[in-house]
Amino acid sequence: MSRLFSQNPWFSMWFYPKTTIRKIVHINPKYGVIYLSALYMLQNFFFFLNFWSLGLETHVFSLLIPVLLLAPIVGFAWMFFYGWILKLTGRLLGGTAPASHIRAALAWSRLPAIITLVMWLFLLGVDPDSVFIQYPEGLVALFVTLILALVQIWTFVLLIESIREIQRFTWFRSICNVLLAAMIYSVIVFLCMLILRFIYLI
């Protein structure tokens, strides 16, 4: 079991991100990237379906079909876009890692999203009619919030460690790289939302 844990990146990435990402980019930097980006985007879609309470007006299975089809496409596009921002900000800090290595680091840092996805699948199995309806209070809301917070923290740690390895950065430079990329990404998304809102109101 210990050998399986140390050899299989789907296990080892959780606690040995630097060693794992080093092996992945050395052997095949594309390994797992598509699957992880799709899983990450799928759990994001589930979150927004719940956040916007779309289950109030639409049957759960009518919501599942489009998100299952869109998750791989949107996830793949997101991975390239965010990876490009990480590469750009990394260069400003002296990083030289190729784009494929950065995408691998970004994708594998999203591995904890599997926990969130399992949570949504569990809630779908327990109460499919209300899983995509946001509750302002209660145990369900507390459960979802706690899981999302833990996943976000662990994802951040894995990304810091992965960028640190592939870029040969110090802790400080790696954190700066990740935070700067997140700021630029947030500004771009915010501007896009403003433009869409403006177009919608015309």
- The string of pLDDT tens digits covering residues 136-193 is 555 667 777 888 899 999 999 999 999 999 999 999 999 999 999 999 999 999 998 8
Q: Is residue 145 part of a domain?
A: yes
Task: Give the number of domains in the chain.
Answer: 1
- What single-letter DSSP state applies at residue 146? H
pLDDT tens-digit map of 55-101 = 888 888 889 999 999 999 999 999 999 999 999 999 999 999 999 99
pLDDT of residue 27: 94
Tell me whether residue 7 is in a domain: no
Convert the pLDDT of each residue in 103-134 to its tens digit. 999 999 999 999 999 989 988 888 888 888 87
What's the mean per-residue pLDDT of the chain? Answer: 90
Instruction: Let me know if residue 44 belongs to a domain.
Output: yes
pLDDT digits (tens, 9 = 90+) for 13-22: 999 999 999 9
Give, in degrees to the nearest 5, the angle at Cα 151 between 64 and 180. 105
Is residue 50 scored above 90 in pLDDT?
A: no
Decide if 123 is inside a domain: yes
pLDDT at 4 over 70: no
Task: Concatenate the DSSP letters of all residues of 37-95 into one string.
Answer: HHHHHHHHHHHHHHHTTGGGTS-HHHHHHHHHHHHHHHHHHHHHHHHHHHHHHHHHTT-
Residue 2 has pLDDT above 80, yes or no: no
pLDDT for the residue 138: 57
Q: Range of 88's domain?
A: 14-201
